[in-house]
Structure 1
Amino acid sequence: MTPLSDNMRGAVLMMISMAAFTFNDACMKAASDSVPFFQAVFLRGLGTSILLIAFGLATRSLRLRLPRRDQGRIALRTLAEIGAAYFYITALFHAPLANVTAIIQAIPLAVTLAGAVFLGAPVGWRRWSAILVGFAGVLLIVRPGTEGFTLYSVYALISVACVTLRDLVTRGLSGAVPSTAVATSAALGVMLFAATGLAVSDERWLPIAPLAWAQLTGATLFLIFGYVTSVAAMRVGDVAVVSPFRYTALVWALLLGAVVFGEWPAGLTILGASIVVATGVYTFHRERRLAIRPGPVPLRMR
């Protein structure tokens, strides 16, 4: 049997990761039937934080002393993570799983756009065109001014903006910051935010049935597994080859939405999602081609 190449292993790991993240979303959505929002987010955040801290201590990758410059960036990243969690999970609790997942697929396009606008990253006319077409696909999914447009469509779009900010800040972190420390900071931030929400809102802490406990436990384990496999995928394979396989999350969302929740998106939603995926894959393809294009041969002094 021929062994898999690094890129193939990376692609398989990325597909597993996207399945895990989508199953996490499905577990959280299912738990929303009996568990209030802040309580569900707090319990998942508590479980995630405990597991990440245990992993960090076991691997000695959980360092508290970090460069001062990185401390501010981690704080900003954590705030962006909190915003993304709040708006995304709220949308997930109230809107079809496939619709929310389809909107989230615009994140790579949004990151490319933000990188060009705020970081001065070079983006040619082909990728600008792909970004515009991709966001036209998002409009087909959201369909403002129609019956299918709700406040939770806007929440999903706001979560895209929060994740874009988070990813841009992450790019600026130095190599001295271990991934475990970044992930643990985010998990603790979301957990403390949910705890604050429980304290100041009218939401009451409710007893949890065994099924809801199983759903929240599943969400926590799927979230951790998705994080670990996504990091492994990016380290094993080439980023430009592996990243497009993120879009397999949409396939899982369609399946789980139909089988578990009896939801099937409208034809325009599927069309819009297909456009977003196609333009996202094209953007990755262009970035890969530009990355491997040979530059001018430098002159050498003899």
Structure 2
Amino acid sequence: MTKLAENSRGALFMMGSMAAFTLNDACMKGLSGELPLAQAIFMRGVPTVVMMLVLAWALGQLRFDFPARDRKLIAIRNLTEIGAAYFFLTAIFNMPIANATAILQVLPLSITLGGALFLGEQVGLRRWTAILVGFFGVLLIVRPGFDGFTIYSLYVLITVCLVTMRDLLSRKISAQVPTLFVALSNAVSVTVAFGLVTLFTEWQPVSGGALLNLGAASVLIIGAYFCAVSAMRVGQVAVIAPFRFTALLWALLLGVVAFGERPDAITLLGAGIVVAMGVYTFSRERALAGQPSA
């Protein structure tokens, strides 16, 4: 398969992942006034794990004969997934989903930076500049020291660091480890971790509407996990990562339609700067590869 075909597949996986993750986030945010965070994540996780176990068994991907190096990488990746789930879902329980997702749009830039620092990928002066300008856009969204700033903005920035680490680890896992197994491992780890937390919290009754949200979130998170892992295991990180920006379109739409949220002008300006710098990074990567710009 050519590099262009691999990048196209990776881009499609990334767009699918962003749609599924954002819709899942909206379902989970819908539970914020009804269920504690740990209970919501655990109840979403149980059917998710069961469905993924059945799917992995049916596809013959439920096996454990991997090198010790891969097992270690998967274990570390699981820890980053647990942390990301806690910090991001806590944030969207307490802040507009579009604002949180806008901050997450710095991920293509942080992953490009991580690819340069830890994977030896080449990043030139122009893309370093795009990274710096992109982080300025994030500051416009977060606005530290102003009235709009909250601790939950920092939670999303912590999520950025954890997801960057998670995706770079995905690149290091060998091809003999099935993608579905990696996703299943994530789901099991998150479910078990938050299941343990529920032992020390008071459970709340679950309404019919909450059950519908949890069921939809369970299905969506399976697709999100699978597509996210697949996206980072094919093609080039710097080419695929910018397609994360499609999450912002979903978040803005869902924020307005489902939650009546309307980001202010400065937030939209910051999001626009971040997206523009990510698109520039994408175009620059394609130009250096001798491909026509999108």
* TM norm structure 1: 0.87
Matched, 1:95 2:121: no
In the alignment, what sits opposite 1:160?
Answer: 160
- SS class of match (1:31): coil
Write the deviation string for residues 201-224 of structure 1: whole angstroms up to 9, x where unpaired.
Answer: xx2111201100001111111222
- SS class of match (2:30): helix
In the alignment, what sits opposite 1:51?
Answer: 51
* C-alpha separation in 2, matches of 1:239 and 1:113: 10
Identity %: 54
Write the deviation string for residues 211-268 of structure 1: whole angstroms up to 9, x where unpaired.
Answer: 0000111111122233445567778988766653331211111111111111111111
Note the C-alpha offset of 1:35: 1.0
Distance 1:73-1:227 versus aligned 2 partners, 3 A rule: closer
Distance 1:230-1:198 versus aligned 2 partners, 3 A rule: closer
In the alignment, what sits opposite 1:70?
Answer: 70
Write the deviation string for residues 96-154 of structure 1: whole angstroms up to 9, x where unpaired.
Answer: 00000001111111111122233443211011000000000000010000011000000
* C-alpha separation in 1, matches of 2:120 and 2:17: 31
Bigger mean CA deviation after superposition, 87-96 or 167-176: 167-176
Distance 1:132-1:6 versus aligned 2 partners, 3 A rule: closer
Amino acid at match of 2:210: A
Distance 1:88-1:181 versus aligned 2 partners, 3 A rule: same
The 5 Å alignment of 1:168-183 reads: 168-183=168-183
Matched, 1:280 2:278: yes
In the alignment, what sits opposite 2:130?
Answer: 130
Note the C-alpha offset of 1:15: 4.0
Distance 1:113-1:235 versus aligned 2 partners, 3 A rule: closer
* C-alpha separation in 1, matches of 2:190 and 2:199: 14
Matched, 1:143 2:138: no
* C-alpha separation in 1, matches of 2:71 and 2:227: 26
User: Unaligned stretches of 5+ in structure 1?
Assistant: 294-302
- SS class of match (2:78): helix
Distance 1:154-1:241 versus aligned 2 partners, 3 A rule: closer
Bigger mean CA deviation after superposition, 240-249 or 260-269: 240-249
Matched, 1:38 2:64: no
Amino acid at match of 2:277: T
Cα-Cα RMSD: 2.4
In the alignment, what sits opposite 1:300?
Answer: none
- SS class of match (2:199): helix
Residues 240 and 288 in structure 1, CA contact (< 8 A), matched pair in contact too: no
